[in-house]
Amino acid sequence: MPEKYDQDARPDEKLLKLFMLLLFNDKEFSLTYLAETINCSKQTVARLLRRIDENYPCHLLERKSNRQKFYHLQRPSMSFKTAIDPAGLRQLALCRDLVKGLLPKEDWELVNMSLQQAKTNLPRADYSCYQDANVGTRLTRGHINYQTKQKQLAELEKCILNRKSCMLSYQKDLNGEIKNYAYAPQMLITFHDSLYVSGWIVSETGPVRILKERPAKFSVHRITEVTAQNRSSEELPVKDLEENADFGFLRDEPFKTKIWFSKEVMTYISDRIWSEDQKITPQDDGGVILEMTALSRSELISFVLSFDFKARLLEPSDLAAEIKERLLKTLEKY
């Protein structure tokens, strides 16, 4: 007896997949293509097509050409009210492509399916203006797998939307201690291809009270558990992270800094906004000096060292001395 095409897929799953493929794509499909896509025989696809034609309020059109059958699902004519045009939908599709790999697989597939559903609400005259082709992608080195964090992300999102606190378990280091916090999350953040959550560490019982002066940020992939509480955080101030226009993600006390960059990287430095108050001054050697306000000493050190000998921290002097000490320790390893 021949082996089944897909031993795990149930008949209702195949039917749903076939119906959605036809519904969300206003074009013809060959019987061969449908069989390959659904991963079953042509006879099974033909049987499923008959069920769709007999039981759903759509008319299935069949056409034969060169001994091949083609199918197209003609949806019932309806008057849709849509608040999006093809250009807007195309931009959302670009966003979908750029976050692939950052979101858990199920969440990304939900985004993709929502876009396909939105496409069906476009007026037919606009169909030709919208092409659902991948025009962007996301490349990174050493990416984080968020597949196992879907539950935590869903709970954080629910707390943010409903302005509720939660109990958050966090393991900063791989083999480190798991610590528990009463936490009022306010915003999810992407930074350097990683997901973070920003919010307030709060009191564990009674009315929600802020315990720390500044919001706390946690790496989502290091969060082991999130349990939503029925405690409102609506009275807490909402920190707008976008208003932070200085250099640094992790906040220390703001400080002024001055960095020299060689001519090899001066274009890269000049093309970007590092701080709202930045000043870039060309130098006689072809390089530039960047002056700006920074928020994180550790991030500034990593930033300068990432340019190797093409950058030198001029101010503050104590941080420059720390960089020198790190370089000497690094040299000892070689």
Question: Each residue of 149-181: pLDDT tens digit?
Answer: 989 999 999 999 999 999 999 999 999 999 999
Residue 304 has pLDDT above 80, yes or no: yes
Mean pLDDT for the chain overall: 85
Q: In what order do the strands lie in the sheet with 164-171?
A: 216-219, 194-201, 178-191, 164-171, 223-232
CA distance 160 to 123: 35
Place of tokens 């037919």: 124
Residues forming beta bridges with residue 219, ordered by sequence position: 196
Q: What's the confidence (pLDDT) of residue 9?
A: 59
pTM: 0.63
**pLDDT at residue 121 tops 80:** no
pLDDT at 279 over 70: yes
Sign of CA dihedral 296, 302, 303, 305: positive
Question: Which tokens go with 157?
Answer: 């999102």
Question: What's the pLDDT at 111?
Answer: 85
Question: In this predicted structure, what is the pLDDT of residue 191?
Answer: 84
**Residue 84, Cβ density class (10 Å: 0-12 exposed, 13-18 middle, ≥19 buried):** middle
Give residue 3's pLDDT band: very low, low, confident or very high (50, 70, 90).
Answer: very low
Q: How does pLDDT run across 46-65, given as a tens digit for each residue?
A: 999 888 888 776 788 888 88
Residue 39: per-residue pLDDT: 85
Mean pLDDT confidence for 293-297: 90
68, pLDDT greater than 90: no
- What pLDDT shows up at residue 2? 41
In the chain, DSSP finds a helix count (H) and a strand count (E) of 9, 12
Element (DSSP H or E) covering residue 72: strand 68-74
CA contacts within 13 A on the Cβ side of 140: 14
Average pLDDT over residues 240-261: 76
Token pair in block for residue 252: 């220390």
pLDDT on residue 246? 67
Mean pLDDT is highest, among 42-46, 99-103, 143-147, for 42-46
User: Residue 281: its pLDDT value, please?
Assistant: 96
Looking only at the bridges linking them, the beta strands covering 311-315 and 255-261 are antiparallel
Mean pLDDT value of segment 311-329: 94
CA dihedral 188, 272, 251, 303 (to 10 degrees): 110
**pLDDT value of residue 214:** 84
pLDDT of residue 228: 94
Which has the minimum average pLDDT: 141-155, 194-208, 222-236? 141-155
